[in-house]
C-alpha cells in the first residue's frame, strides 16, 4: 500500500477540514452580526442586504481560486453563506409573484438564497403593496422575457409607485416534463401555464402529439395537480418537481434553449453604487415631431449607453406615451446627473426608478 492514504484516512482528513470550516463560518457570522448592529445605529437609509459588497466578495474569491474547486460553485456556496448570515441580523422578507416553485420563486432564491423569508402573493400589484407598506423588505417581479417580451403590468405599476428598483436577476427558463408516472407513454394529460406550453410547442407536437394539454394559472399549480393524477404530467421547473415529489421524465423540453426572464428587485431604499450599475427612468415626451430624438440626445452627448427603451400609452391623456429607459451608469456619476438634468427640461415629466447593480 506504500505511503498512499486509504479511503478512511481521506475521510478523516475531510472531517477535520469540515470541523475547521464550521468554526470559521461561525467566526464569520459573528463579524456579520456586529456589522449589522453598527449599520442599524448609524444608517437608517441602508438595507442590511448589500448586493455590491456581495459581488465584491465573490469576484475576489473567484479571482483567487486556484482549484480544483469550481469557480461557478463559489457563487452558489457564498450566496447561501451570506443568506444565512443575514438571517441572523433579522428576517429578510421577500414578496414575490406566487405561487411557490414558479420561475419568480427561483429568481428570488438565486438573489437572496434559501435563508430569506419568502412571501408568495397573487399579483404584481400585491408585490408592490407588500413592499410599499413595509411588510416586506424586498419585492421580486418579472419585467421581460427573451421570447415573450416585456411585462406591461409591471411597467404600469411604476407610474404611481414610490418604490425604487434595487436590483435585477436574470433567470434561465428551463422547462421539464414532470410526473408520478414512470414513463412518458403512461401520460394521459399534460398541465401547464400558457406561456410554458407555447415555449414547448414543438417538443410536445413531436413527442406527445395525441396527449391533451390543459392550461392552468401557473407551472406550480400544474405540478400540484400531478400529485394525485398519476397519469398526468406537468411542464414546470425542477424546483416544482422537488417540492411536489415528481420525477423528471424529460429535462429541458423548451424549444428555445436561450430563454431567460429578467426580474426586478423592489425596495423602499436605494441600492449602493458598485461601479457596474445601470439606471432606469420613466419619462413622458411632448407631442411634436422629433421630440423623442431630442429628448434622448443628451445620453449620447454625455457618452451614456442606452440599453433599453419601452413605450406605454399614458393613462392620463389619449395619444400621450410614457417611455421606460435603461441606461448604463449610476445616478451619482456626473455624466448621468448632467444628462438627466438636460432631459428633465425637455420632457413633460421625468421619474428616476433607481440605480442598481447590473446583472452581468
| β-strands 232-236, 176-179 pairing | antiparallel
- Which among 211, 220, 214, 344 is positioned nearest to 285, based on CA atoms? 344
- 61 φ, ψ to 5°? -65, -35
Per annotation, catalytic residue among 103, 138, 158, 263: 263
**For the chain, where are the alpha helices, taking DSSP H only?**
7-42, 51-64, 71-89, 103-112, 124-132, 152-160, 194-199, 201-207, 219-225, 238-244, 291-301, 334-344
- 103 φ, ψ to 5°? -70, -25
- How many angstroms separate the CA atoms of 156 and 315, rounded? 9
Per annotation, catalytic residue among 50, 104, 154, 261: 261
Total Cβ atoms within 10 A of residue 351: 15
Grid cell at residue 208: 406527445
Let me know how many helices (H) and strands (E) the chain has, helices first. 12, 15
Grid cell at residue 335: 455624466
* Whether 44 is catalytic: no
Grid cell at residue 212: 391533451
- The answer to whether 262 and 144 are in contact (CB under 8 A) is yes
- 279 φ, ψ to 5°? -125, 135
- The answer to whether 95 and 130 are in contact (CB under 8 A) is yes
| 287: Cβ contacts below 8 Å, ≥ 6 apart | 319, 320
Total Cβ atoms within 10 A of residue 19: 10
- How many angstroms separate the CA atoms of 118 and 98, rounded? 10
* Whether 263 is catalytic: yes
- The answer to whether 100 and 119 are in contact (CB under 8 A) is no
**For 226-268, where are the alpha helices, taking DSSP H only?**
238-244
Active site residues: 261, 263
Amino acid at each position: 500500500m506504500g505511503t498512499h492514504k486509504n479511503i478512511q484516512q481521506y475521510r478523516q482528513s475531510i472531517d477535520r477540514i469540515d470541523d475547521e470550516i464550521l468554526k470559521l463560518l461561525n467566526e464569520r457570522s459573528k463579524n456579520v452580526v456586529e456589522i449589522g448592529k453598527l449599520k442599524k445605529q448609524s444608517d437608517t437609509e441602508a438595507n442590511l442586504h448589500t448586493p455590491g459588497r456581495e459581488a465584491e466578495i465573490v469576484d475576489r474569491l473567484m479571482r483567487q481560486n486556484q482549484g480544483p474547486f469550481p469557480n461557478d460553485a463559489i457563487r452558489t456556496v457564498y450566496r447561501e453563506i451570506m443568506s444565512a448570515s443575514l438571517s441572523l441580523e433579522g428576517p429578510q422578507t421577500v414578496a414575490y409573484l406566487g405561487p411557490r416553485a414558479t420561475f419568480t420563486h427561483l429568481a428570488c432564491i438565486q438573489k437572496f438564497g434559501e435563508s430569506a423569508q419568502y412571501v408568495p402573493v397573487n399579483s404584481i400589484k400585491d408585490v408592490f403593496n407588500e413592499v410599499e407598506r413595509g411588510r416586506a423588505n424586498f419585492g421580486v417581479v418579472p419585467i421581460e422575457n427573451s421570447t415573450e417580451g416585456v411585462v406591461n403590468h409591471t411597467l404600469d405599476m411604476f407610474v404611481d409607485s414610490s418604490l425604487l428598483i434595487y436590483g435585477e436577476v436574470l433567470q434561465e427558463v428551463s422547462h421539464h416534463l414532470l410526473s408520478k408516472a414512470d414513463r412518458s407513454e403512461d401520460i394521459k394529460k399534460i398541465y401547464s401555464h400558457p406561456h410554458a406550453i407555447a415555449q414547448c410547442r414543438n417538443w410536445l407536437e413531436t413527442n406527445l402529439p395525441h396527449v391533451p394539454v390543459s392550461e392552468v394559472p401557473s407551472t406550480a399549480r400544474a405540478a400540484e395537480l400531478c400529485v394525485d393524477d398519476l397519469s398526468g404530467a406537468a411542464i414546470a421547473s425542477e424546483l416544482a418537481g422537488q417540492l411536489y415529489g415528481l420525477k423528471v421524465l424529460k429535462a429541458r423540453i423548451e424549444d428555445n434553449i436561450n430563454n431567460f426572464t429578467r426580474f426586478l428587485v423592489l425596495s423602499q431604499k436605494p441600492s449602493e453604487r458598485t461601479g457596474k450599475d445601470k439606471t432606469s427612468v420613466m419619462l413622458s415626451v411632448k407631442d411634436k415631431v422629433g421630440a423623442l430624438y431630442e429628448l434622448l440626445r443628451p445620453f449620447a452627448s454625455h457618452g451614456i449607453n442606452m440599453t433599453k427603451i419601452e413605450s406605454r400609452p399614458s393613462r392620463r391623456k389619449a395619444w400621450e406615451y410614457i417611455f421606460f429607459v435603461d441606461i448604463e451608469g449610476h445616478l451619482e456619476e456626473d455624466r448621468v446627473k448632467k444628462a438627466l438634468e438636460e432631459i428633465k427640461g425637455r420632457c413633460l415629466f421625468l421619474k428616476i426608478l433607481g440605480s442598481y447593480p447590473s446583472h452581468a
